[in-house]
A and B are shown apart, each in its own frame.
Chain A
Amino acid sequence: MNVQFKKGVLDLCVLAMLNDNDRYGYELASTLSEAIMISDGTVYPLLRKLASDGLVASYLQESQSGPPRKYYSLTSMGRIRLQELLDDWITFTASVNKIVGGKSA
């Protein structure tokens, strides 16, 4: 898949995943890297960026096994941003599908 496509939708994916549940970095990284073939390492800088923009918040929580996990959660600003991105995404994919969808489907 095109690299720019992936990078563009990565924050949408992260925000969407956090909308369901609070998640820790490893969980987000391994899920996303499997789903859209990105390097695990790109997720952490993105989380940091989202945190500095106030879209996500983080907290540490002890786990039964291994080190304490750094959980990320969506802030209210993050929720708004997710909605915006989602709307954009739907509009965008709908427009693209209108052009390419008929032929390929």
Chain B
Amino acid sequence: MKRKDYINALRAQLRRLPSDDVEEIVKEFDTHFEMGVADGLTETEIAAKLGSPEEVAQIYLSDAIPDFDPSGAQNVCTPQMPIIPVKTGMVIDRGVGPQTAAGFASGGFAKPLVNASPRNTAPKPEPPSFENAHTGAKDKETYEEPQPQTGKKYDLPDYTQYPSQDPNTVKKAGKEHNLLFSVLFTIFIFVPLWFVALALLLLLIGTPVVMGLLSGVLFTWAMEMTAAAAGTVCLAISLAFGAIAMLFVAIFAVKGFILGTYHYIRYIIKINGSKGGKA
């Protein structure tokens, strides 16, 4: 994995943390890459040594989000931490810290990270075997199977259940779909409309011509006018229609047509970046 990919993956995994924290973390890893390269390692080697971005992000998330991993993994360095409020009648002194050899093993050693999945809405209860080894048999009686936690207390919005609300996902999906949207919209909506508009324009311009011809035929045939008189009337009618039509055409239609096309092309180019315009 290259430096850029690693950093991007890490940033994506950490998106539930405040953005200031994410940037701070990402910066530290970026520096790590820089120093590794200065040390003569390749980016791929450095990434391999770091461990996967998912794994790393899970440690950050389990530290930052209370309730993330109720098994006590975060109590490693907090001697003053009170007993963790466990819902059931469990009597476990995990939070007190390692006072005995057994305590060191149970409280001092963190849980394997593989279990600390952020998607795990129902964390597996840890059996009380190790704790009972030194707290006595009565714990076995008071121990009840912890119920899976349903209500999360995250301060940050949890998009796991509503990925469509996640700004990161939405933004990404939007980018991917812009080109497809542009092509489909252009072919099925813009081009047909463009032709309809063009046809209407031609009709508007053509109307006076057609009306003039029609009226000429009408006057010559029905009113027994001389060809010269009919011609004069036709010309007058044509001019009248033409003048009105051209006024509309000139002011609204042409302007609208040109501006509409111009803005459409500009928008399509904009949402696809400067090079991907579909004109």
- A residues with a Cβ closer than 8 A to B are 3-5, 7-8, 11, 25-26, 29-30, 33, 39-42, 44-46, 48-50, 52-53, 55, 65-67, 69-70, 81, 84-85, 88-89, 91-92, 95-96
Q: Tell whether, in the assembled complex, residue A48 and residue B109 are in contact, meaning their CB atoms are under 8 Å apart.
A: no
B253 within 8 A of A: no
Which B56-84 residues have C-beta < 8 A from chain A?
A: 56, 59-60, 63, 74, 76-79
Q: Which of A5, A67, A69, A84 contacts B109 (CB 8 A)?
A: A5
Q: Which of B32, B59, B74 contacts A40 (CB 8 A)?
A: B32
B28 within 8 A of A: yes
Which B65-115 residues have C-beta < 8 A from chain A?
A: 74, 76-79, 97-101, 104-105, 108-113
Q: Tell whether, in the assembled complex, residue A25 and residue B32 are in contact, meaning their CB atoms are under 8 Å apart.
A: yes
Nearest chain A CB to B79 CB, angstrom units: 6
Q: Which residues of B contact A8 (CB under 8 A)?
A: 76, 104-105, 108-110
Q: Tell whether, in the assembled complex, residue A53 and residue B38 are in contact, meaning their CB atoms are under 8 Å apart.
A: no
- B residues with a Cβ closer than 8 A to A are 25, 28-29, 31-32, 34-36, 38-39, 46, 49-53, 55-56, 59-60, 63, 74, 76-79, 97-101, 104-105, 108-113
Q: How far is the CA of A85 from the CA of B103 in the complex (A)?
A: 12
Q: Tell whether, in the assembled complex, residue B31 and residue A4 are in contact, meaning their CB atoms are under 8 Å apart.
A: no
Q: Which of B31, B60, B101 contacts A25 (CB 8 A)?
A: B31
Q: Which residues of A contact B77 (CB under 8 A)?
A: 11, 49-50, 53, 55, 81
Q: Tell whether, in the assembled complex, residue B110 and residue A26 are in contact, meaning their CB atoms are under 8 Å apart.
A: no
Given contacts A41-B56, A44-B25, contact A4 B112 (CB under 8 A): yes
Q: How far is the CA of A5 from the CA of B36 in the complex (A)?
A: 27
Interface of A, secondary structure class, is helix
**What are 22 of the A-B contact pairs (CB < 8 Å)?**
A3-B112, A4-B109, A5-B109, A7-B76, A7-B113, A8-B108, A8-B110, A11-B76, A39-B50, A41-B55, A41-B56, A42-B55, A44-B56, A45-B59, A48-B60, A49-B76, A69-B31, A81-B77, A81-B79, A88-B104, A91-B100, A92-B105
Q: Which of A26, A42, A46 contacts B31 (CB 8 A)?
A: A26
Q: Tell whether, in the assembled complex, residue B34 and residue A70 are in contact, meaning their CB atoms are under 8 Å apart.
A: no
Q: Which residues of B contact A89 (CB under 8 A)?
A: 104
Q: Which residues of B contact A5 (CB under 8 A)?
A: 109
Interface-central residue, B32, B49, B77, by most chain A CB under 10 Å: B77
Q: Tell whether, in the assembled complex, residue A91 and residue B28 are in contact, meaning their CB atoms are under 8 Å apart.
A: no
- List the B residue with the shortest CB-CB distance to A93: B101
Nearest chain B CB to A63 CB, angstrom units: 9
Q: How far is the CA of A88 from the CA of B110 in the complex (A)?
A: 15
Q: Which residues of B contact A48 (CB under 8 A)?
A: 25, 60, 63
Interface-central residue, B34, B39, B76, by most chain A CB under 10 Å: B76
Q: How far is the CA of A18 from the CA of B244 in the complex (A)?
A: 89
Given contacts A3-B112, A41-B51, contact A92 B76 (CB under 8 A): no
Q: Which of B36, B59, B79, B105 contacts A42 (CB 8 A)?
A: B59
Q: How far is the CA of A4 from the CA of B106 in the complex (A)?
A: 10
Q: Which residues of A contact B113 (CB under 8 A)?
A: 7
Nearest chain B CB to A90 CB, angstrom units: 10
- Closest A-B pairs by Cβ, 10 of them: A39-B51, A8-B109, A41-B50, A45-B59, A41-B56, A7-B110, A41-B51, A26-B35, A95-B101, A92-B104
